[in-house]
Structure 1
């Protein structure tokens, strides 16, 4: 009896498992088809891979044991691999604020544009017993539709008829406004056969498409201006062509996405408006990262030495006070420093002006702005180095200092010949990691200076205090000529290669240390 109950339970669980997997597969299939039909091919492929991998892991006995690591693998695919591959892919296209659609969707947008090709007719809604008639004035003659409920207006063509006077009460303008969507979808036909569409809150007019797609599936013709447009596969825009088939005139917006190869990477090194700022920002990024590591290490090690001094009274209090900057959220400290360094009302300038008569322009002079950033980042980073150094100091054998004292060495000799070498060597992987972190320290720059002061004569937004990561952000989201996501993707790809190289270097040092 117990055996039958157990078998029934196992069958139920097995049935539930396969039903759940089947439901997941159906939902995944529907989502993939929906995204594919809308042209979101990358997201469709991502959904298919993640869901199919999950079904595969949970469906087979040989892979069922991997169900515990599947969430981690899925998260890595979703949040690391896919964004990385997608960003690298964008770097080889012209994807920007004006080029975000496929050719088919661009055609659809352009084909929906219309222009007025005839006279306008004033119209009004007339209400009687909860039904409405649309009445137009054609000179001295009235044209009106049959009476309908507004929510039951026909979706096909509505015939206008000649009437002596509209029947009912004229509806207020707010009724037209509240039902504008319904009215704008109507197509009215006059007694002369003209087709009218809503062209304003009080007018209907004869409207025709601005562009007509030709039989080749690509060419658009504007019959109003008698202009032929073809897709320019180099720029990603529809553009006018002359009788010789050459592209002339202004492009039509929106544009479409095309592959441009290494053009974005080439622009970084050949466009003077990008090349100069890029190399300046790259040098500053490296310098900022190196100096931050040096300053935080120096301050952290010195303070660790001081609070490790056994003769110092109140060491516990000093230790807590010096670690406090590490406990306070970084963005709060940055905003506080932004106020302290305010050029007009900041406490730092008030003190400097009172003591020395100085009022530095921290946010407008490039060198001072960079100095300010290094001061703030040193304050934010030294507690981490201090904590590491405090732990490593305890691991240094006291015998070394005793032997050094017997040789007549003083505290400074001990620091440079014993303490510093024994501290820095095991900290090399952590120093490399700190360099990589500060290489991409977006929050500090964004909250403190937002890259200011800005550089003059650049093709894309760039500031003297921008790091590569904030420079990339500004290109992607602050470009005055259109958000250049593709160029930002190219720079992000280069940042990835640099940081990836640092990570490999870090792993190599870590391996050497373990050996």
Structure 2
């Protein structure tokens, strides 16, 4: 007869099985993370490797230790904060103290190796080429153009082996069919990747469509990481202040390497007239643009909300839907449509203005008209949001207040000033702050509508009259006139401090207003 199994034993077995599964899952995740960390470290991404190692170690401790059991619910949010907030902030600050840019993009050892790999035509013997094909294999026959008796034939090679080096010898015989010039032309891009090693260990590369020639190393390494130009004899020393190899005459040799330059980028922002002037102009316009947008959208949204909720208005539901439609259309589509409407030569807005008043405003080339255009478009995009907010808040105002004011003989303007606005302003303030923050960094609007233009002529970096801080930083970092990531990171640091101060001031003002 089968004996009943002990309940405690079953439970214990399940716990052991669950723990085993947990440890197996943690081990699999850790092995995958270690593999990723190894790859990143091998590619020189040490910062990313360290961050993943730190987060993986914390995660392993949290999910395997009984003492850290409560942190299991906090770890996902902590992971997101560290990975997407703290690490980018630290990384950006680190770049701000370097000369990291399109001209100083690589580490020193990589730049040094690039220079050492450079070659030049030594001007020695030239070898006429003949190419033979045997199925998928090729062989080169190289004949000295001065001494026709000196001839070498390479080992067989395939296109899949390129780029690569193949040895050649006079004792090797070519096999296969000799290719015509038109076939060599079709293979010229592949042949340029081939290096031929002669018996005396000299190297030949393709110098023209019909010839191979000797190539010599342009630089050789000297003392203290210096480089000696084998062609001219000039000596280049690494300058760890500017991040370039520099000759005795002060000539810089590109590419440069990344070095730490201290506070130089921050000093440039506050002292360089070509950066300082545009920076403060752009900061002023950024604050003005965000403030006016919030103010205009609030006024328009509030007035329209009052209008659609006006009882004598018939078919108010239809008007609500029509007025909310701009909010339903993706912003980038609306911006591109407005860009066409405001076109100075073919836009419908200038067409109407020209027919009515005989004028064609230069919306994209005049600084003030460009700013006015941005405010118009931004108000169109933002008023539905404010209208929806205020419609809900207006519903919460007791009707008794309006009835009492009507008995006292108040008009709609008095109701708006003394009842409506005071009743909705407190719950609106956090939302207005959020709207201000959004428009403070509204990169999509500026980039798609004006691209930051018209350009400021007194700026030494790419800067425009309608740029806001985020678009100005983007143009410095990723613009078509050069990428200065270090300077852009320094400006981003200033933006962080400014936005932090504005947020602190707004929160203090909000708390004081809510205490009243």
- Per the normalisation by structure 2, the TM-score is 0.89
1:22 alignment counterpart: 27
1:385 alignment counterpart: 386
Per mean C-alpha deviation after superposition, the further-off stretch among 321-330 and 11-20 is 11-20
2:42 alignment counterpart: 37
Contact 1:95 1:484 in 2 (8 A): yes
> Given the alignment of the two structures, is residue 232 of structure 1 paired with residue 233 of structure 2, yes or no?
no
2:18 alignment counterpart: 13
Change (3 A) 1:461 1:316: same
Q: Using the alignment, how far apart are the partners of 2:162 and 2:256 within structure 1?
A: 36
RMSD of the alignment, in Å?
2.8
Contact 2:220 2:227 in 1 (8 A): yes
Question: How many equivalent residue pairs?
Answer: 505
1:244 alignment counterpart: none
Contact 1:265 1:487 in 2 (8 A): yes
2:280 alignment counterpart: 279
| Residue 484 of structure 1, CA deviation | 0.7
Q: Using the alignment, how far apart are the partners of 2:166 and 2:218 within structure 1?
A: 21
Q: Using the alignment, how far apart are the partners of 1:488 and 1:277 within structure 2?
A: 14
Output one character per residue of 1:117-148: Cα deviation in whole Å (capped at 9) or x when no partner.
23332222223576543211113224223653
| Residue 438 of structure 1, CA deviation | 0.6
1:126 alignment counterpart: 132
> Given the alignment of the two structures, is residue 432 of structure 1 paired with residue 433 of structure 2, yes or no?
yes
Change (3 A) 1:295 1:209: same
Out of 205, 211, 215, the position equivalent to 2:213 is 205
| Residue 369 of structure 1, CA deviation | 1.0
Alignment partner of 2:213: what SS? strand
Contact 1:135 1:142 in 2 (8 A): no
Q: Using the alignment, how far apart are the partners of 1:154 and 1:184 within structure 2?
A: 5
| Residue 406 of structure 1, CA deviation | 4.1
| Residue 58 of structure 1, CA deviation | 1.8
Contact 1:39 1:102 in 2 (8 A): no
| Residue 473 of structure 1, CA deviation | 1.0
| Residue 490 of structure 1, CA deviation | 1.3
> Given the alignment of the two structures, is residue 46 of structure 1 paired with residue 51 of structure 2, yes or no?
yes
Per mean C-alpha deviation after superposition, the further-off stretch among 200-209 and 125-134 is 125-134
> Given the alignment of the two structures, is residue 188 of structure 1 paired with residue 197 of structure 2, yes or no?
yes
Out of 149, 155, 163, the position equivalent to 1:141 is 149
Contact 2:339 2:449 in 1 (8 A): yes
Contact 2:167 2:198 in 1 (8 A): yes
Contact 2:441 2:470 in 1 (8 A): yes
Change (3 A) 1:144 1:420: same
Contact 1:133 1:144 in 2 (8 A): no
Q: How does 1:102-181 map to 2 (within 5 A)?
A: 102-117=107-122, 118-128=124-134, 132-138=138-144, 139=146, 140-145=148-153, 147-150=155-158, 158-161=167-170, 168-172=176-180, 174=183, 178=187
1:359 alignment counterpart: 360
Alignment partner of 2:97: what SS? coil
2:75 alignment counterpart: 70
Q: Using the alignment, how far apart are the partners of 1:508 and 1:86 within structure 2?
A: 30
- Runs of 5+ unmatched residues, structure 1: 242-247
Change (3 A) 1:147 1:289: closer
Q: How does 1:74-89 map to 2 (within 5 A)?
A: 74-89=79-94
Contact 1:57 1:64 in 2 (8 A): yes
Q: Using the alignment, how far apart are the partners of 2:342 and 2:137 within structure 1?
A: 68
Contact 2:132 2:138 in 1 (8 A): yes
Out of 196, 205, 222, the position equivalent to 1:214 is 222
Q: Using the alignment, how far apart are the partners of 2:301 and 2:252 within structure 1?
A: 58
2:420 alignment counterpart: 419
Q: Using the alignment, how far apart are the partners of 2:100 and 2:366 within structure 1?
A: 35
1:317 alignment counterpart: 318
Change (3 A) 1:294 1:206: same
| Residue 263 of structure 1, CA deviation | 1.3
- Per the normalisation by structure 1, the TM-score is 0.89
| Moved >6 Å (runs of 4+) | 151-157
